[in-house]
Chain A
Amino acid sequence: MNLVHQLINRKSSNALTQVLIFLVSFLLALVVGGILLALQGHKDILSVYYYLLIQPLTTGNGIAKVLVQTTPLIFSGLAVAIAFKCDVFNIGVEGQLYAGALAAAYLGYALQGLPRLVHVSICILGAIVVGGLLALLAGWLKVRFGVHEVISTIMMNHMISNIVTLLVVDYFRNDGPTARTPTVQDSARMLSLSGSSQLNSGLIIAVLLCVVLYIVFEKTPFGWQLNAAGKNLRATTYCGVDAKRLILIAMLISGALAGLLGAERVLGGFGYMQVNFSPGYGYDGITIAVIAGNNPFGCLLMSLLMGLLCTGGTQLNVMTDIPSEWVDMLSAFIFVFVVAANAVMLKLPELKEKRLSRERRLAK
């Protein structure tokens, strides 16, 4: 468990090492993935990787698709990262995003006759508040009663997603074959960035949030205290920092980001809220935040890659007979290699010293 904590809050100072570790892990994953394909009898592995990694980026439409996949992942990665920063695991992003999505969808179709900017803002605000409050509840249970947030957020995921489904099916359902809410008003749609895809101004918000969170982490007293609390909560408390408040704020922001994810999907993507629309954004966020070492820009880059893998995976499915599970496996390999490499890096100074002392002994 100690190693897990060390990994989650590993030093972010040496960005170059982290990038190198990532690149090597990525290549290794490609090699292992290629071997698996070869074992299954695939001959043309290079073209598989071409469809997966290059082809989506060759057309404007493809790039737009990648960015559509990337947008929610950025929100999710950041949501997990800010909680991780103070050593709190918000596994509840998945539930919080559904609640946020429903809030945005309801406000989006129920309110009428508002100017676009106002309407969109109200919907987003609603999603942020609902998501934030749900995460805050888990945070409050933690600081007030010592309920571990992993337990409470996982349980809340089940509760929220079922309650949301119930609400959509029984109360907010649109007439039609699929279980979804009515389409939101035009005035509640986020600005589209490309006519043919779901790409919308949510991407701009996500990228801006990366910058904002980077500044918060590196340049504000709150960020420094968050960082200290993540590494040694006790010392931080003894230094006169209100760590409970810190955890509550971090959870509030985390949940707000999850709610924002839901709002972006509803207002910018589908135009309505459909049950079970998330392919597991909340859990992907954990992967992203861990690989990125909680660095907001790392989250951005990781989200881009995961978006690419996702788009390329669909492409691959169409063009070849390779199942989409193979792509999931590939991203799992990347994750495992990055984590393993970091574990080794953490142990490296110790190993180095051991070798040095052995050599010195032999030299005598």
Chain B
Amino acid sequence: MQGITMTGITKDFFGKLALQDVDITLKKGTVHAIVGENGAGKSTLMNILSGTLPPTTGEITVDGEKAVLRGPQDAAKYSIGMVYQHFMLVPTLTVWQNVILGSEPLKHGYTIDKSTAIDRITKTCETYGIDLNPERLVGDMTVGEQQRIEILKVLMRDAEYLILDEPTAVLTPQETEQLCDNIRALKKMGKTIIFISHKLEEVMDIADEITVLRLGRMIGTVPAKESTSERLVQMMVGRDVQLDGYPMAIEKGDVILHVENVCTERTQFSSGLQNISFDLQAGEVLGIAGVDGNGQTELVDAILGMTRISSGKVEKSGVNITGKSSSQIRNSGVALIPPDRHSQGLVLKNSILMNSVMGCEADKRFCQGGLLRRRGLMDTMPTVLQEYDVRMPSIEAKVSELSGGNQQKVILAREFGVRDSDLVIAVNPTRGLDIGAIEFVYKRLEEQKAAGKAVLLISTELTEIMRMSDRIAVFFKGRCMDIIPRDQADITRIGSLMMGIQEGGDRE
């Protein structure tokens, strides 16, 4: 039989079952999508198929032959290749140098045969309709182009089965469209594509079959033609969830955050901020859209006083806060949901209680006469944490024992429930959360907006930006390309701006 069958796959991580008795059949020459929430076991399953992880139990057959995969080399023997979410490319080398790295064609046995290498690459690119210039430096290329190099690398090693791990997570809508074209071309050439994603629209667009995983179990495989996104969400979550929608209409108030011509220094790794200006009013959500790494981090750090602003100014409620220390700015009433809750939001080794008051210990609810009062803490915090629906074994338990969603709720409790603020900065607030928790975060952000706070939402998930924002600013290479009111926003336009293409169509 042609194709791959995996039967009874179980993976046990130190007593935690990441996969439990998963059966899956990947038909040759099809595009097979695997969807599921974070922690559903998608990546584990693919790592098993690519030989990176051994299964605890279970059997894999490739084209009818029983396959034992002990490493990526074994997988390559069975023509299985994987394109990882995080690219493994050397930015200081050119495309062809990256592609041949590790299997260089040689001239006279010792020098690298550049012309053969480039010939082979051009031929492969032509066959599969991949658009790449082999002489270009990888570091200068966009994420979408870099991804094409990774796909090319796998193809050059004669893979028949290509595994793509969340390939669209880092792409703009246009780049996603191009990737889908590439995938269709590959399918036409008889390749089998296994495609992991949690974005349902694109999955239904290009996949032939869709397998849904939930909490390590296979829920079912459905033909894409017969599925609807409601049904898939229900399979993924186990209940009905409505995440789509429009931002709530609230009357806007005074300008809370005024950013005027802010620039920060260019560095080797970032383009800095180039002349950013915007106003943010009370009761308004301003969404910052953009591919990761286009100035979003710099913007947050500049507003919070973490990086030096080289010119321009930031005002909060009419007070100039440019050049103030980050603790002064935060204590002037700024709530922050940082992008990375493990490294920036929480001290994992400390208790939930300590984390939930971090930075606000001196609040007079907890602290009298310079000493922390246990009574004060225990009168306030359990209630606040309960209000934010933190499911915890005990308030003294370490925050690392909580699930990602509950950890994020601890941060929400601290920033919204303990700290006083009139400005909320939320950076990728739902990253890595399951759908239930995402719903919860949206609800809480809307509450903040309804309470008359100004909300700056920075996210790489365009759907999230569209769902929450009253206005949308698009960032590209540290510049604000445009600010669009939600009712005039459309995905294509934002996508172009995300790639630096202005109205006229010039690419900068």
Give the distance in Å from the alpha carbon of A23 to the alpha carbon of B399 in the complex: 30
Contact B371 A228 (CB under 8 A): no
Give the distance in Å from the alpha carbon of A242 to the alpha carbon of B329 in the complex: 11
Interface centre among A240, A353, A356, A361 (most CB of B within 10 A): A240
Q: Is A144 an interface residue (CB 8 A)?
A: no
Q: Is A197 an interface residue (CB 8 A)?
A: no
Q: Is A176 an interface residue (CB 8 A)?
A: no
> What residue in chain B is nearest A229 (Cβ atoms)?
B347
Binds A, one of B82-90, B223-231, B356-364: B356-364
Number of interface residues of A (CB under 8 A): 30
- Which residue of the partner chain, among B304, B331, B354, B367, contacts A228 with CB atoms under 8 Å? B354
Task: Name A's interface SS.
Answer: helix
Q: Is A17 an interface residue (CB 8 A)?
A: no
Binds B, one of A104-112, A156-164, A219-227, A332-340: A219-227
Contact A232 B57 (CB under 8 A): no
Using Cβ atoms and an 8 Å threshold, which residues of chain B touch A219? 371-372
- Which residue of the partner chain, among A224, A232, A235, contacts B372 with CB atoms under 8 Å? A224
- Which residue of the partner chain, among B12, B15, B304, B347, contacts A235 with CB atoms under 8 Å? B347
Contact B370 A220 (CB under 8 A): yes
Interface centre among B13, B336, B357, B370 (most CB of A within 10 A): B370
Contact A220 B372 (CB under 8 A): yes
Interface string of B347-390 (1 = CB under 8 A from A): 11110001001111110000100111000000000000000000
Contact A232 B347 (CB under 8 A): yes
Contact A238 B345 (CB under 8 A): yes
**Smallest Cβ distance from B381 to chain A, in angstroms?**
13
Interface residues of A in 217-266 (CB under 8 A from B): 219-221, 224-225, 227-228, 231-232, 234-242, 245
Contact B371 A240 (CB under 8 A): no
Contact A242 B327 (CB under 8 A): yes
- Which residue of the partner chain, among A235, A237, A350, contacts B14 with CB atoms under 8 Å? A350
Q: Is A11 an interface residue (CB 8 A)?
A: yes
Q: Is A329 an interface residue (CB 8 A)?
A: no
Give the distance in Å from the alpha carbon of A227 to the alpha carbon of B347 in the complex: 10
Contact A360 B15 (CB under 8 A): yes
Give the distance in Å from the alpha carbon of A241 to the alpha carbon of B56 in the complex: 46
Q: Is A345 an interface residue (CB 8 A)?
A: no
Using Cβ atoms and an 8 Å threshold, which residues of chain B touch A232? 343, 346-349
Give the distance in Å from the alpha carbon of A163 to the alpha carbon of B331 in the complex: 44
**Smallest Cβ distance from B331 to chain A, in angstroms?**
6
Q: Is B338 an interface residue (CB 8 A)?
A: yes
Q: Is B310 an interface residue (CB 8 A)?
A: no
Give the distance in Å from the alpha carbon of A24 to the alpha carbon of B135 in the complex: 65
**Smallest Cβ distance from B457 to chain A, in angstroms?**
17
**Smallest Cβ distance from A86 to chain B, in angstroms?**
12
Using Cβ atoms and an 8 Å threshold, which residues of chain B touch A234? 343-344
Q: Is A357 an interface residue (CB 8 A)?
A: yes
Interface string of A143-184 (1 = CB under 8 A from B): 000000000000000000000000000000000000000000
Using Cβ atoms and an 8 Å threshold, which residues of chain A touch B13? 357
> What residue in chain A is nearest B363 (Cβ atoms)?
A221
- Which residue of the partner chain, among A221, A228, A236, A353, contacts B15 with CB atoms under 8 Å? A353
Q: Is A32 an interface residue (CB 8 A)?
A: no
Number of interface residues of B (CB under 8 A): 38
- Which residue of the partner chain, among B56, B326, B354, B371, contacts A237 with CB atoms under 8 Å? B326
Q: Is A118 an interface residue (CB 8 A)?
A: no
**Smallest Cβ distance from B374 to chain A, in angstroms?**
9
Interface string of A33-54 (1 = CB under 8 A from B): 0000000000000000000000
- Given the known inter-chain contacts A224-B361, A241-B358, please indicate yes or no for A354 contacting B350, CB distance below 8 A: no
Q: Is B306 an interface residue (CB 8 A)?
A: yes
Give the distance in Å from the alpha carbon of A212 to the alpha carbon of B212 in the complex: 58
Q: Is A3 an interface residue (CB 8 A)?
A: no
- Which residue of the partner chain, among A231, A245, A356, A361, contacts B350 with CB atoms under 8 Å? A231
Give the distance in Å from the alpha carbon of A240 to the alpha carbon of B348 in the complex: 17
- Given the known inter-chain contacts A219-B371, A353-B15, please indicate yes or no for A238 contacting B344, CB distance below 8 A: yes
Q: Is B325 an interface residue (CB 8 A)?
A: yes
Using Cβ atoms and an 8 Å threshold, which residues of chain B touch A221? 361-362, 367, 370, 372
Q: Is A205 an interface residue (CB 8 A)?
A: no
Using Cβ atoms and an 8 Å threshold, which residues of chain A touch B414? 239
Interface string of B441-455 (1 = CB under 8 A from A): 000000000000000
Interface residues of B in 308-339 (CB under 8 A from A): 325-327, 329-331, 334, 336, 338
Q: Is A114 an interface residue (CB 8 A)?
A: no
> What residue in chain A is nearest B327 (Cβ atoms)?
A242
- Which residue of the partner chain, among A235, A241, A353, A354, contacts B345 with CB atoms under 8 Å? A235
Using Cβ atoms and an 8 Å threshold, which residues of chain B touch A236? 347, 358-359
Using Cβ atoms and an 8 Å threshold, which residues of chain A touch B354? 224, 227-228
Give the distance in Å from the alpha carbon of A242 to the alpha carbon of B57 in the complex: 51
Interface centre among B14, B329, B360 (most CB of A within 10 A): B14
Contact A241 B359 (CB under 8 A): yes
- Which residue of the partner chain, among B14, B304, B331, contacts A353 with CB atoms under 8 Å? B14
Using Cβ atoms and an 8 Å threshold, which residues of chain A touch B372? 219-221, 224
Contact B326 A360 (CB under 8 A): no
Using Cβ atoms and an 8 Å threshold, which residues of chain B touch A356? 14-15
Contact A240 B330 (CB under 8 A): yes
Contact A357 B15 (CB under 8 A): yes
Interface centre among A220, A224, A237, A356 (most CB of B within 10 A): A224
Give the distance in Å from the alpha carbon of A225 to the alpha carbon of B367 in the complex: 13
Using Cβ atoms and an 8 Å threshold, which residues of chain B touch A11? 349
> What residue in chain B is nearest A356 (Cβ atoms)?
B15
Using Cβ atoms and an 8 Å threshold, which residues of chain A touch B336? 238, 240
Contact B358 A239 (CB under 8 A): yes
Q: Is A19 an interface residue (CB 8 A)?
A: no
**Smallest Cβ distance from A69 to chain B, in angstroms?**
34
Using Cβ atoms and an 8 Å threshold, which residues of chain A touch B371? 215, 219-220
Using Cβ atoms and an 8 Å threshold, which residues of chain A touch B357? 224
Interface string of B225-268 (1 = CB under 8 A from A): 00000000000000000000000000000000000000000000
Using Cβ atoms and an 8 Å threshold, which residues of chain B touch A227? 350, 354
Contact B344 A228 (CB under 8 A): no
Contact A231 B367 (CB under 8 A): no
Contact B12 A357 (CB under 8 A): yes
Interface centre among B304, B338, B357, B359 (most CB of A within 10 A): B359
Closest 7 CB pairs of A and B: A240-B330, A239-B359, A221-B361, A353-B14, A242-B327, A240-B359, A221-B362
Please name 19 further chain A to chain B contacts, defined as beta carbons within 8 Å, in addition to the given A235-B345, A237-B306, sorted by A numbering.
Answer: A219-B372, A220-B367, A224-B372, A227-B350, A227-B354, A228-B347, A232-B343, A235-B343, A235-B347, A235-B358, A236-B347, A236-B358, A238-B304, A238-B336, A239-B359, A240-B329, A354-B14, A357-B15, A364-B57
7 intermolecular pairs with C-beta atoms under 8 Å apart: A11-B349, A221-B372, A224-B361, A235-B343, A238-B336, A239-B414, A240-B329
